[in-house]
Amino acid sequence: MLLNEKRTTVAYRCPDCGGGIMSAVGLFNLSADMVKLRCTCGKSELKIIYNRDGTVRLTVPCLICSQPHTFTVNASLFFSDELFVLPCPYSDINIAFTGEMNAVKAELARTELELLDLLEQNGITDFSALHGDEQDLPDPQILDIILFVIDDLDAEGKIYCHCHPDPKEGPSEEVTSHSTDEDHPHESRYEAEITEDGIKVTCRVCGASTVISTDSMLSAHAFLNADSMHLQ
């Protein structure tokens, strides 16, 4: 008797060459080891691990940020025929896709047009300039744009951390610190620090933080579309 193996199609776009990488992934080979989807240019790869608790962890290269993003999804969702997309946390750009093969192909093509339009708006003609490797220090204009968005999100209460969880995601783990916003009525809970990797945003109460990439005008432009920020 033959068993019908759960399978899905997984795709991402290489941040170095812009190529679309797509492959079928089955539960049997995913249960045995880590699965890697590597671009033919050799400069990026997507990693998939099946966890014992029935979840799937994906480490996805990002077109916008200098570092990959890690997502954990339920296996039933991962192997569903429905199209499932994973967006960069700091932009509206989808960076990975799973689901039925034709649906994944169509979404990969759609997001390519969206990305090319974004590149054109920022005067970028090829993917090699996505992360601005040619410059040692970030453009002051990029810093100003990102700092403006951070301040705006802070003022709207749209920066979330362990002690200020996103209501859409339910309650977070209890924080031992007893400091609250009432303790500092005229001071923001969050501080922004310019580092070599970007702008690091940290919660003064629970210590959660994240780094916003400042390596190109494209990343700054994408961050303008952010409607929230989640610190880990």
**Cβ pair 138, 214 in contact under 8 A:** yes
Q: With 0.75 as the threshold, say if the pTM is over it.
A: no
Q: How far apart are CA 11 and CA 15, in angstroms?
A: 13
**SS3 state at 35:** strand
Considering the domain architecture, whether residues 99 and 204 belong to the same structural domain is answered as no
pLDDT the model gives residue 228: 87
**pLDDT beneath 70: ranges in the chain:** 1-5, 28-32, 122-142, 169-187, 215-222
Distance of CA 190 to the CA centre of its chain: 21
Shared domain check, 159 and 104 = no
> For residues 104 and 97, is the Cβ–Cβ distance under 8 A?
yes
- Does 66 lie in the same domain as 13? yes
Q: Are 172 and 184 in contact (CB under 8 A)?
A: no
Residue where a domain stops, chosen among 129, 152, 183: 129
Residue 17 is assigned to a structural domain of this protein: yes
Task: Take residue 112 and report the two structure tokens written for it.
Answer: 């390519």
Sheet containing 190-194, strands listed edge to edge, beginning at the edge strand earlier in sequence: 190-194, 199-203, 209-212
> Which domain covers residue 55, as residue numbers?
7-129
pLDDT averaged over the chain?
78
The number of folded domains in the chain is 2
Q: What is the pLDDT of residue 189?
A: 86
Per-residue confidence (pLDDT) for residue 48, from 0 to 100: 92
Identify the pLDDT of residue 183: 47
pLDDT tens string 123-179: 666 665 555 443 444 455 667 778 888 888 888 899 999 998 888 766 544 444 444
